[in-house]
Amino acid sequence: MVQLGLGDRSIEKLPFERAMVRAQDVVQHQLEAALPAERRSDLTDAMRYAVVGGKALRAFLVLEGAWLHQVNAGSAGMAALAIECLHAYSLIHDDLPCMDDDDLRRG
């Protein structure tokens, strides 16, 4: 498990850029734990593709909230992944032809 220090108030707060990278790392680690490589399929590959590579801003907000409220790091990591998955779903769902079929995301 990644040591995040979310529940330990004595750990120094990270600068914004490092905290964002930490959020991306947490999402990646939790995704690998939830979708192990030895159980690969077309579906899990698509799920990984949809979630990996983003800014993980929502995960960052979850982790920061957890730090503020001294929430367990493992629980916060899973919640951060869940929020990123919901966000990825909303983007994919919006792009379906039956929803808006637009060539541009915004505009």
Phi, psi of 20 (to 5 degrees): -65, -40
pLDDT at position 106, please? Answer: 55
Angle at 66 between CA 13 and CA 94, to 5 degrees: 110
| pLDDT tens digit at each of 107 positions of the chain | 334 544 444 445 788 899 899 899 999 999 999 988 888 999 889 888 888 888 899 999 999 999 889 888 778 999 999 999 999 888 877 766 676 666 665 54
pTM exceeds 0.75 for this model: no
